[in-house]
Structure 1
């Protein structure tokens, strides 16, 4: 199995995980506090002297360390004398007979510290009518501020998402939209006044969440996450009530490239799937001739369902399912 060979793994709250692993045993520390010691028995980890009250924190952090350090690892087998039932109910632990496991595909669906703001998860469902004549769930109020943060062990950098702030982000959004590379696909060139109106309309629209992507807190990208049921894409496929769609723009030239796309596209997809567990699909509709972006998306598990005609472009319908993302994602 490939490994990132980390010695430290930062957490979004500022704390750090560190480990000592001699092949026979593993010791995990949170900052300077000894968190967990475990003996290795082949593929089995046997935590030593782990109190029931400490299991939730210790096992979550152990799983995070193992899955981030070994992106291809699919499960973590454990032996525990006692099990906190809350961990089985949450999905962190899976019990089958005498076997206890932490499954990668389940672990990454737990919000943990990655989800940094209120989510739609607990918002009740009430169907309302859109101006287009389509019924859709009433959407929760949009978050403000940072919504997602995770240390990308592959890049050695923080990837984070925050909501757009017009006063802070207007000038960079204007600069990005007026670059020839971006304009070729977005076709939204214009002055500051035009872009202020454009962004204000989106901020006022409950359908759309404008986001800024950051590496190490430096803005590099703009995204629009939208509810597909209320969007113009809805008539072109069998849309579900909680499908989300994405528009994507990388504005800073030094943050282009496949390794950067893998980081931010996985983070954006991860955030939207964490935001509401009812979301089963993420869709996108890049221009059909944007072979580079389509290739990047396919490399991260999106599939090209078909091509279709919008009034303004020939588009490719790209789809990522919750099941495929969490089975195959290379979050680290």
Structure 2
């Protein structure tokens, strides 16, 4: 049986996919709705219905089927599904973006690179991508007007490999001040962030970031226990923009892991995939995620490069020499995503 949590549909019903060696069974509110025979080939999984598909099965429920197909085998790049017997279901699923192609014979194909760009149930707040495009000017740059920051949790993702849930929420300057203050005053953190100080200064810093339309300060949690601080930003109007040709919806992120038990290479792939995934699916127009760590943070830069980021160059800020690191959208979803 799968370890993935149920996929909740817009009407509140829940879809779950149960995996066996040569088949996948889709349940809707606990009742079998469809069973598919599975044939595995290098890089591809082919699914064909075994018996009838329930006429009450909504297309959105197929998300759970594809999520299990891609999660259970990281080498699968494509999933094909024979849906000639359910043309309406196939057409609706194609329209939802669950499948990228649908031919006249009713064969639908989903690709890993496209599928994990769907928000699924990952987003806990309205996406930035819903905000209409409208140009403005700040910091001497023309850029799209940015949406207001959501309050509370913005992203939640269950991690079957460790049996824990990763989440991110917008910083609360009062509730999160103690932990933020503690992290910033750690010698290891201060070496790179240079922000050791008193609580009043840290509270003021967080309040200013929350009032700044271009930044989004976040607290990262494992099973709702805070472990790190993440500072998302829009690159076009950020200090990094003079050093590369930023697109209107490029985003960047500063990160720190404050809790010792969550540091190290074992946890790194889990939270770096999570924050990058959030920034991309929150804004579908975002083409790349950038960063500018200090060049002497060698181990961190190496971890980033091992997980899809490319070091483009080194450059000088007034306060540090930095490395420009870039994650392209297509690289992330095709090779380093879910």
Aligned match of 1:121: 129
Q: Which residue of 2 aligns with 1:70?
A: 73
Deviation track 1:222-246 (CA, whole Å, cap 9, x = no partner) reads 0100011111100000011111110
Kindly report the root-mean-square deviation, in angstroms, between the aligned alpha carbons of the 2 structures. Answer: 1.9
Q: Does 1:92 align with 2:103?
A: no
Cα distance in 1, alignment partners of residues 284 and 55 from structure 2: 28
Structure 1 residue 221 corresponds to structure 2 residue 228 = yes
Distance in 2 (CA, whole Å) between partners of 1:16 and 1:220 is 31
Quote how far apart the aligned CAs of 1:55 are: 4.3
Q: Secondary structure at the match of 1:166?
A: coil
Cα separation, 1, equivalents of 2:130 and 2:258: 34
8 Å contact kept, 2:102–2:109: yes
Give the Cα–Cα distance (whole angstroms) in 2 for the partners of residues 163 and 141 of structure 1.
12
Match of residue 107, structure 1, among 110, 115, 120: 115
The secondary structure found in structure 2 opposite 1:258 is coil
* Larger deviation, residues 51-60 vs 220-229: 51-60
Cα displacement string for residues 146-190 of structure 1 (whole angstroms, at most 9, x for unaligned residues):
111111122221111111111110000000001111111101000
Q: In the alignment, does 2:265 pair up with 1:258?
A: yes
- Any unmatched runs of 5+ in structure 1? 1-5
Structure 2 vs 1, CA of residues 279 and 156 (structure 1 numbering), >3 Å: closer, same or farther? same
Q: State the alpha-carbon separation in 1 of the partners of residues 137 and 298 from structure 2.
A: 36
Q: 1:229–1:242: 8 Å Cα contact kept in structure 2?
A: yes
* 3-state DSSP of counterpart to 2:213: coil
Q: Distance in 1 between matches of 2:321 and 2:31?
A: 56
Which sections of structure 2, spanning at least 5 residues, go unmatched?
none
Find the residue that maps to 1:8 and give its secondary structure.
Answer: coil
Q: 1:207 to 1:18 in 2, by over 3 A?
A: same
Please point out which of 41, 60, 82 is paired with 2:86.
Answer: 82
1:8 match? 3
* Aligned equivalent of 1:37: 35
Q: Tell me the TM-score normalized by structure 2.
A: 0.90
Q: Is 1:60 paired with 2:63?
A: yes
Once residues 160 and 189 of structure 2 are traced to their aligned partners in structure 1, the CA distance between those partners, rounded to angstroms, is 29
Contact persistence 1:161–1:213 (CA under 8 A): yes
- Native 8 Å contact 1:69 1:153 kept in 2: no
**Do 2:295 and 2:314's aligned partners in 1 also have CA atoms closer than 8 Å?**
yes
Q: TM-score, normalised by structure 1?
A: 0.92
State the match for 1:3 in structure 2: none
Contact 2:230 2:255 in 1 (8 A): yes
> Aligned partners of 2:110, 2:56: CA distance in 1, in Å?
18
Local SS of the residue matching 1:111? coil
Assess if the C-alpha contact under 8 Å between 1:244 and 1:282 holds in 2: yes
Residues matched between the structures, number:
324
Correspondences of 1:166-245 after superposition (within 5 Å): 166-245=173-252
Deviation at 1:299, TM superposition (A): 1.5
C-alpha distance in structure 1 between counterparts of 2:218 and 2:60, whole Å: 30
Contact between 1:225 and 1:245, CA under 8 Å: does it hold in 2? Answer: yes
* CA displacement at 1:86 relative to structure 2: 2.6
Q: Say whether the 8 Å CA contact 1:12–1:151 is kept in structure 2.
A: no
292-301 vs 187-196, which moves further: 292-301
CA contact (8 A) 2:234 2:252 kept: yes
